[in-house]
Amino acid sequence: MPSALVIFFFQSSQLVHESPFAEVLVYIVIILLSAKLSAELFERIGQPAVIGELVAGVILGNLILINSKLTFFEPLRVDHLVSHPAIAVDALAQIGIILLLFEVGLESSVSDMRKVGLSAFFVATAGVVAPFVLGYLVSAIFVTHIPAKILLISPNFKLSYIHMFVGAALCATSVGITARVFRDMGKLQLIEARIILGAAVIDDVLGLLVLSTVSGLVSAAESGTSMSLAGIAKIIGLALAFLIGSLLAGSMLVPNIMNVAARFRTSGLMLITSILICFGLAALAGYIGLAPIVGAFAGGLILEEVHFKNFAGNLRIRDLLEPITQLFVPIFFVLMGIQVHLETFLTTTVIGISAGLIVAAVIGKQVCGLAVIERGIDRLTIGIGMIPRGEVGLIFAGIGRSLGVVDDNIFSAIVIMVIVTTFITPPLLKVSITRFEKHTPRV
């Protein structure tokens, strides 16, 4: 499907040489069309749309393996984008990342974190620490030298930074597919489901702290300095202070901001005000040295439906945000797929990294079940429910790639790990739930 589209439009590259902006528009047309068609196909077979969008990107990015003349997407595949149209598409994908984490924040709630108790906290902590350590070890086994181009830019760069980014990419859990399995089976009320969904929120926060720390280490190396333990503690403290400060400021300021905005007659202010908060906090996070996605997540976390009660109409902010995320977020996922180099899997090293990361991802999350403190809870189900990686893991890998830490081999392996862990979770989870309830009837 994507191959036919590209052949139709681009057998002659003259079609897109008249105007760079025309090239951007054609990129968007093909990316969105491919994303939606592939997402539809994967949803019909019971898989999440994000996997379809990733696969569409992998196909588009590797069309050159089918026909050497199909080079239209090559400018989007390099480590450092130089083509103006490619930079524009990447900017749209970055907006997609911001909106995606904003949406994750909207779906999270501080009050929900309090309700799920210590088990969810222990599950989330184990689900971050164990995969990080295992991912680090897998990387240490297969990645034994620093690429020369990194050393040219950052003489103080350490090999351990690469291992840390790989470990960080394994930390995050994407429980959207897990939640859907519980919902389809009518089991969302189970304590296991509540623990998993609660742990996922805490998991996101801890994962962002890990990302902020590792990114800070890399940025320090790029500036020609090394970071001490005090510097690492400073980054973690800054990230925590930012999140806590955002929550406190949000609780005091957001209700007043929304009340004022609700008095205006201009249409669309409910959506625009929310996006301004999202982009504003994302920019602030970037300016103080944190990843902008930390700010976007905080922006979603401080907004609650009660803040919009004075606006006319019955639509929720998530409903208003949906068309915008449906435009920008698929661009990000397809772009991540485009940057996967299938030819790298011809080497045993990349195959080994991929297999190692998949095993580490699965085993690392099984440790989550051991962290549950209550009796009578199916620990295997909790471990399986925490397996799927998704958007946050891809974002970590994308940031690592943009910083030059994650090369084509590692990036491709991480994307394959995300796809495989998402594929295997639904059938394993259904079997686990059925098995436990058959042998351990609920009271």
Residue 249 has pLDDT above 90, yes or no: no
Q: What's the burial of 114, exposed, middle or buried (CB within 10 Å: 0-12/13-18/19+)?
A: exposed
300-313 residue pLDDT tens: 888 876 666 766 56
Q: What is the mean pLDDT of the chain?
A: 81
Give mean pLDDT, residues 343-365. Answer: 90
Residue that wins the pLDDT comparison between 425 and 35 = 35
Q: d(Cα 328, Cα 350) in Å, to the nearest integer?
A: 30
Question: Could you give the C-alpha distances from 248 to 120, 243, 255, in angstroms and in order?
Answer: 23, 9, 12
387-406 residue pLDDT tens: 887 677 788 888 888 877 88
- Residue 102 sits at φ, ψ, to 5 deg, of -65, -40
- Residue 172 sits at φ, ψ, to 5 deg, of -70, 145
Residue that wins the pLDDT comparison between 174 and 1 = 174
Task: Confirm if 36 and 335 have CB atoms less than 8 A apart.
Answer: no
Conformational region of residue 380, where left means phi above 0, alpha means psi within -120 to 50, and beta covers everything else: alpha
Task: Confirm if 61 and 335 have CB atoms less than 8 A apart.
Answer: no
Give mean pLDDT, residues 431-442. Answer: 74
Domains of the chain and any CATH numbers = 2-97 (no CATH), 98-327+354-387+398-439 (1.20.1530.20)
Angle at 124 between CA 120 and CA 127, to 5 degrees: 140
What is residue 14's predicted lDDT score, i.e. its pLDDT? 46
The reported pTM is 0.79
What is residue 40's predicted lDDT score, i.e. its pLDDT? 94
